[in-house]
Amino acid sequence: MALLELIEKENDIKKLSPEQMPALAEEIRSFLLEHVSKTGGHLASNLGAVELTMALHLTLDFPKDKLIWDVGHQSYTHKILTGRKEGFDHLRQLGGMSGFPKRSESDCDCFDTGHSSTSISAGLGFAKARDLEGESYSVVSVIGDGALTGGLAFEALNNAADLNTNFIIVLNDNKMSISENVGGMARHLASMRVADAYQEFKSDVHSSLERLPYGERVARRIHKTKSSLKQLLIPGMLFENMGLTYLGPVSGHNLSDMVHIFREAKKVNGAVIVHVLTDKGKGYLPAEQHPDRFHGIGPFDVETGYPLKSKKKPDYTDVFSTVICKIAAKNDRVVALTAAMSDGTGLKRFHSEYPDRFFDVGIAEGHAVTFAAGMAASGLHPFFAVYSSFLQRGFDEIVHDVCMQNLPVTFAIDRAGLVGADGSTHHGILDLSYLSMMPNMTVMAPKNKWELADMLWFASRQDGPTAVRYPRGQACDGLKDYRAPIRLGKSEWIYEELQIVIFAVGSMVETALDVREQLHKKGYDCSLVNARFIKPIDTESIRKAVEDHVLIVTMEDNMLHGGYGDAVGAYLAEIHADASLLCFGIEDQFVSHGTVEQLRKLTGLDAAHMTQKIIDTYDAL
């Protein structure tokens, strides 16, 4: 009988013997490979965290104890051990199990995550609430070494140093940068420093010295000597100097060592860092050799590790990658930044061709924005390539450091709109709203790959902040013949007729073409305008549309509130226009996971739904 069959709910792992644990770990990895190869998902991070998760489940009591995963893309084993094996058949699919922790899925998921560097802050909140309510459960936050580059993590660590109650922070380090410290000495130091006798001994020695002549001076000398020895012997002095207890490092694939150190960590009266070293992709050679490629992957062949579907046409990221290098070749003031996403945002080639003009700041979007502002104020033109949902974390820096000073920083915003299987934490459906509200900001969205290239060139010549946002996936290659020069705040009329006019934003132009065709088949005339600029909007084209049309329609893959449609509506009200307005976008909600096609139907942004609603609205006028 497979050991996984014995895991039906939380805490069932404790029914197995220590001798069965290696086999269970192997079964979990096989299970993950079998299912993720069919559905896609985050693989390398989950393969590396199998034993770590098992050790936590052997140490903690669920759902009483609280386990917060940073980002959460390494929580698959946690889901397996809490009775959600069946959910992997529909992982990240519409109506199926999320690829991230979700409170709505299980009581064992105490906090929803999807973005980086949040787990320590959230865990500290749980620990404080526990103490205020007089409860006694354990709180553990798991954070990766990469996530520690986020400023929020250090803010939380600084706050956690004042905690006088147990709170465990597990640092999952898969870089193996200090692997030589794993061994007897590290385990000995860790065990000695958390032993009750040692803690009491320190306190007794200090109290005794205070009562002796010159005792304070001796105590300070001992403290200084002790600190010097720690600097030599203990690799976690950064945390120790912050006032946190540091344990480790310990091998993240040695189950018994981790169980031991976690049990010892629970004895510490304060915040404690447990440093765990893991191998990303552990147990699957292709993922071990290419962890970045197997970070987030679609369905693939387990034998070869190759994707089942090969990319036939370039995506928008590919287009950006090519064009930014061409721009840099013509303009030596252009530099490029990323927040730990050089591959994902298409800057790998730029890094290769212009290494001195490329900057990876780590998972620190807020810093990236202000860093770019500093360079822009010094005469350079930075391009910050970033996923839409991650740019949200630099909101204040965009306002305060870029827009207020009207600095020439270009935001190349990838993964805008609905992105699919990663779900609510990763959809880029807020950017048009919050960027449009910022003074001095120019916001653009291209209809196809050629227009993306033109907009990037246009942005490189601007003297103020500019955002170019484009979706995930294959770049549209339609409407090639419609390539009017980019002019600030000017839309592009593609078809001019009467009755109905559609102003479509970015990738919605392709859908609007389909809608227009369906309207034609049913006897309705329809003009089509490629909005191009979300800010400033093209008021001249809106006035022209009002003269010849009775229904103005806007389409955007963004929240309706504060989006392009809102801006058009405000202008129509300002000029007291007689035309009616119908806006398509995303209602006031967070959108779940599924394919982009499914989610567009779910949100009413599919061609069939919009066509019918346009007809119903027009006929009712």
Among 280, 282, 415, 600, the active-site one is 280
What's the rounded Cα separation, in Å, for the pair 278 and 89? 27
When computed from its CA atoms, the radius of gyration of the chain, rounded to whole angstroms, is 28
CA-CA distance, 464 to 481, in Å (whole number)?
Answer: 30
Distances (CA, A) of 93 to 58, 83, 423, 617: 30, 19, 9, 33
593 in Cβ contact with 94 (< 8 Å): yes
Q: What separation in angstroms does the CA of 403 have from each of 180, 294, 364, 411?
A: 47, 37, 19, 12
Neighbours of 207 (CB within 10 A): 11
DSSP reduced 3-state for 158? helix
Please answer whether residues 431 and 389 qualify as being in contact, where contact means their C-beta atoms are separated by less than 8 angstroms: no
Is-cis flag, bond preceding 536, omega within 30? yes
Answer yes or no: 353 catalytic: no
Cis peptide bond upstream of 63, omega within 30: yes
Q: How far is CA 12 from CA 9, 66, 67, 80, 540, in A?
A: 6, 17, 17, 11, 67
> How many residues comprise the chain?
621
Rounded distance between C-alpha atoms, residue 391 and residue 240, angstroms: 32
333 is annotated as an active-site residue: no
| Contact present, 553 and 526 (Cβ < 8 Å) | no
User: Active-site residue 280, yes or no?
Assistant: yes
DSSP assignment letter at 400: I
Query: Active-site residue among 10, 27, 51, 365?
Result: 365
Rounded (10°) angle between helices 184-194 and 196-210: 60
| HSE value, Cβ hemisphere, 13 Å, CA-based, for 566 | 15
**Is residue 592 exposed (0-12), middle (13-18) or buried (19+ Cβ within 10 Å)?**
middle
Candidates 130, 187, 393, 472; catalytic one: 393
The answer to whether the CB of 614 falls within 8 A of the CB of 515 is yes
**Contact present, 184 and 287 (Cβ < 8 Å):** no
Q: How far apart are CA 180 and CA 373, in angstroms?
A: 40
**In terms of Cα–Cα distance, which of 254, 277, 47 is closest to 179?**
277
Q: Residue 584: beta bridge partners?
A: 555
Strands (E), 182-327: 245-251, 271-277
Q: Is 313 exposed, middle or buried (0-12, 13-18, 19+ CB in 10 A)?
A: exposed
In 3D space, the residue among 113, 236, 259 whose CA is nearest the CA of residue 177 turns out to be 236
**Nearest to 250, CA basis, from 276, 273, 274:** 276
Element (H, E) at 365: helix 365-377
- For residues 265 and 513, give the distance between their C-alpha atoms in angstroms, rounded to a whole number: 61
- Report how far apart, in Å, the C-alpha atoms of 269 and of each of 66, 199, 210 are: 17, 10, 23
Token pair 């410290």: residue: 181
- Using DSSP's 3-state secondary structure scheme, residue 252 falls into coil
- Beta strand 66-69 with 139-144: parallel, antiparallel or unpaired? parallel
What are the residue numbers of the active site?
280, 365, 393
